[in-house]
C-alpha cells in the first residue's frame, strides 16, 4: 500500500455542558474538520459529551482505538469544571503530572497578571508523559498524549493550537471536492445523481438542498482523492443538468 492510498482518520470529542444545554453554539467541529481535511486526514466521527468523567472516558477509549488521531476540545482551563486532563489520564491508565515547561510558560505569562496561583497551575497538569501544543494567545498550552490532542474550548485558542500543529501529522491523499449548484429540486435528479456517482467509482456525490430568495435549489458536492476522475464526474453532472435545461453553477450557489 503506498502512502497515497492509506486513509488517515480522526475523531473529535467536544467536551462541555454548555454545548449540550444549547447555550453555546459549537464552532470547533467545523474548524477542526476543515483543518483535518487540509492535513489529508478525514474526520470520521464526533461526539459531544458532558463535563462528566465516565462519559469522557467511554468516548476517549472507543475513539482513540479506532482512529489514527483523536482530538478533544474543552475542559482544559483552571476551574473546577475543567476535568479533561484527569479524565483522559484515567482513560489511559496513567497519572497526572505538572509539566515543567508548561509551568515555566504559565509563570512567564502570569508574571505581570497577578502571579501563578493554584488554579492557574492546574493548566500545567498533563497526563504523564504528554507533550505540549503551543498556545500563543493565553499561555496555557494544549496537550498531546500519544495519539490524543487536547485542545481549548474557546474557538480562537483552538485555532491557534491547530495552526501550531499544521504539517506535523502524517496524513494521506487529500480528499478533493468540487461543487455544482443548480436551481433544481434534488428530487428531480435523484436518479441522475446516483447513476453519475456509480459511473465514477472513486467519487461520492452529496446532495444539499437549500431555499434562497423564495426559490429552491441544491448544491451537489463531489468528493474524490482522484483529481482527474473528480473533474470528469463534475463535468458529467454539469453537462447532464444543462441537458435538462438547468444551468449548472460551478462552485455552487
Residues near a second copy, by CB under 8 A: 14, 17-27, 29-37, 42-51, 55, 77-81, 113-114, 117-120, 122-123, 154, 156, 175, 177, 185-188, 190-191, 193-194, 197, 204-211, 221, 223
Which cell goes with 242?
Answer: 444543462
For residues 3 and 187, which CB has a smaller minimum distance to a second copy in the complex? 187
Q: Facing residues of 215 across strands?
A: 212
d(CA 91, CA 49): 15
For residues 26 and 68, which CB has a smaller minimum distance to a second copy in the complex? 26
Q: How far is the CB of 16 from a second copy (least distance, A)?
A: 8
Q: How far is the CB of 77 from a second copy (least distance, A)?
A: 7
Sign of CA dihedral 11, 17, 22, 24: negative
For 167, the 3-state DSSP assignment is: coil
Q: How far is the CB of 111 from a second copy (least distance, A)?
A: 14
Q: How far is the CB of 101 from a second copy (least distance, A)?
A: 19
With beta carbons less than 8 A apart as the criterion, state whether 230 and 236 touch.
Answer: no
d(CA 132, CA 99): 8
In which residue are the cell numbers 430568495 written?
A: 213
Q: Facing residues of 208 across strands?
A: 219
Q: How far is the CB of 1 from a second copy (least distance, A)?
A: 22
For residues 1 and 23, which CB has a smaller minimum distance to a second copy in the complex? 23
For residues 118 and 228, which CB has a smaller minimum distance to a second copy in the complex? 118
For residues 94 and 175, which CB has a smaller minimum distance to a second copy in the complex? 175
d(CA 64, CA 202): 27
Amino acid at each position: 500500500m503506498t502512502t497515497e492510498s492509506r486513509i488517515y482518520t480522526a475523531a473529535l470529542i467536544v467536551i462541555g455542558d454548555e454545548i449540550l444545554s444549547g447555550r453555546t453554539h459549537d464552532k470547533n467541529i467545523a474548524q477542526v474538520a476543515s483543518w483535518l481535511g487540509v492535513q489529508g486526514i478525514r474526520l470520521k466521527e464526533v461526539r459531544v459529551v458532558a463535563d462528566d468523567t465516565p462519559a469522557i472516558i467511554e468516548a476517549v477509549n472507543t475513539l482513540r482505538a479506532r482512529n489514527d488521531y483523536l482530538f478533544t476540545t474543552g475542559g482544559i482551563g483552571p476551574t473546577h469544571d475543567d476535568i479533561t486532563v484527569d479524565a483522559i489520564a484515567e482513560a489511559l491508565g496513567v497519572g497526572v503530572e505538572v509539566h515543567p515547561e508548561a509551568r515555566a510558560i504559565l509563570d512567564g505569562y502570569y508574571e505581570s497578571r497577578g502571579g501563578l496561583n493554584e488554579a492557574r497551575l492546574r493548566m500545567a497538569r498533563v497526563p504523564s508523559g504528554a507533550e505540549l501544543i503551543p498556545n500563543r494567545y493565553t499561555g496555557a498550552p494544549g496537550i498531546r498524549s500519544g495519539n490524543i490532542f487536547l485542545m481549548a474550548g474557546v474557538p480562537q485558542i483552538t485555532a491557534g493550537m491547530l495552526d501550531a500543529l499544521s504539517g506535523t501529522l502524517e496524513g494521506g491523499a487529500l480528499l478533493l471536492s468540487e461543487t455544482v449548484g443548480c436551481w433544481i429540486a434534488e428530487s428531480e435528479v435523484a436518479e441522475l445523481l446516483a447513476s453519475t456517482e456509480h459511473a465514477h467509482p472513486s467519487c461520492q456525490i452529496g446532495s444539499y438542498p437549500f431555499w434562497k430568495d423564495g426559490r429552491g435549489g441544491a448544491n451537489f458536492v463531489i468528493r474524490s482523492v482522484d483529481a482527474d476522475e473528480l473533474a470528469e464526474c463534475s463535468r458529467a453532472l454539469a453537462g447532464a443538468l444543462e441537458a435538462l435545461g438547468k444551468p449548472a453553477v460551478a462552485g455552487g450557489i
